[in-house]
Amino acid sequence: MTTSHAYAYGKLGDHDVLRAGFGAMQLNRGDAADAVKVLRRAVELGVDHIDTAQFYGPVNDLIRTALHPYADHLRIVTKVGAVTHPAERLVAAQKPEELRASVEENLRALGTEHLAVVNLRRADMPPGIIAAGDQVVDLDSQLGELIAMRDEGKIGGIGLSHVSLAQLRQALPAGVVCVQNLYNVITRGQEDVLIECAEQGVAWVPYCPLGSAFDQLPNVTDNSVVIAHAQRLGITPAQAGLAWLLGHSPATLLIPGTRDLAHLADNVAVARIELDREAMTAFDALAQDAAA
């Protein structure tokens, strides 16, 4: 295992960011004061890339409470394509006018006039919401609306989430800065999209990098191979799983989610952890057992 300063930073569009960012979704429950502490600590530790969404309930308000006025270098990345619903928790909101309304809500809640990156969260495949009826919207019309908002200065960069390789390729002419798809060391169904991102200079931001958000996903920290190599290297299983993601592709930026200050420190430290060849090879082989 080695550490290197240069290894710690990656590109999100034109900006260098610490490769260990923070996914804020887990802050949608629990004590608000604790969530504010976690956000402030993340930034103190060097995190400059935070993933959020208006449909994560109170999370944007917590980010504003914790971090506003925002440091210039802080990239707050949000996503549109769904909205909260009183009965069903989350529903698709894929129409161009709904994307625009969601961008406006994010701007208002975060207390800013500009969003660093907005990810278009498609809803074509499980897990999560699936678009039906008039919510099945063609990608080009959505991109048209996002491009218009980028031209208006409301959005810095356009990202995609939960997309296929064909959709990524369709969207590339619009200028895509990142793709946020489900992927981790033991759930690797999206390798083709990752490869395309790396080739096209698009940041690859795997969501659920530890396998958490959906009940049906296996948890990285329960995997016996991950646990064994973590023990051998004197790091935690979570760090080992995250470090594999960084070592696997230079395009990768991490957004693990946590409410726990100790876990946060462990996760940020991963930006400077490079696994040895033995661990990389063993973890590469886990793809054969991958659930995705």
Ligand X SMILES: NC(=O)c1ccc[n+]([C@@H]2O[C@H](COP(=O)([O-])OP(=O)(O)OC[C@H]3O[C@@H](n4cnc5c(N)ncnc54)[C@H](OP(=O)(O)O)[C@@H]3O)[C@@H](O)[C@H]2O)c1
Minimum distance of ligand X from residue 108's CB (angstroms):
20
Subset of residues 266 to 285 that bind ligand X, contact rule: CB under 6 A: 266-267
> Annotated catalytic residue: which of 56, 70, 183, 207?
56
Q: Is 75 in the site for ligand X (CB under 6 A)?
A: no
The interface region with ligand X, picked from 18-26, 90-98, 108-116, 164-172 by CB under 6 A, is 18-26
56 classed as catalytic: yes
Return the axis-axis angle of helices 59-67 and 32-44, rounded to nearest 10°.
50
State whether residue 82 is helix, strand or coil: strand
Give the whole-angstrom CA distance, residue 248 versus residue 242.
10
Which residues lie across from 117 on neighbouring strands? Answer: 77, 157
Provide the phi-psi class of 201: left if phi over 0, else alpha when psi is between -120 and 50, else beta.
Answer: left
Minimum distance of ligand X from residue 211's CB (angstroms):
5
DSSP character at residue 29: S
Minimum distance of ligand X from residue 257's CB (angstroms):
2
Q: Is 263 in the site for ligand X (CB under 6 A)?
A: yes
Amino acid at 19: R
Minimum distance of ligand X from residue 128's CB (angstroms):
6
Which residues lie across from 16 on neighbouring strands? Answer: 11
Give the whole-angstrom CA distance, residue 94 versus residue 79.
11
State whether residue 83 is helix, strand or coil: strand
What track of x and - describes contact with ligand X for positions 80 through 109 (by CB under 6 A)? Answer: ------------------------------
Subset of residues 111 to 140 that bind ligand X, contact rule: CB under 6 A: 121, 128
Q: Which uninterrupted H or E stretch holds 15?
A: strand 15-18
Q: Is 179 in the site for ligand X (CB under 6 A)?
A: no
The interface region with ligand X, picked from 17-25, 109-117, 194-202, 279-287 by CB under 6 A, is 17-25
Give the whole-angstrom CA distance, residue 97 versus residue 103.
10
Catalytic residues: 56
Binding footprint of ligand X on the chain (CB under 6 A): 23-26, 51, 79, 121, 128, 161-162, 180, 207-213, 221, 236, 238, 255-260, 263, 266-267
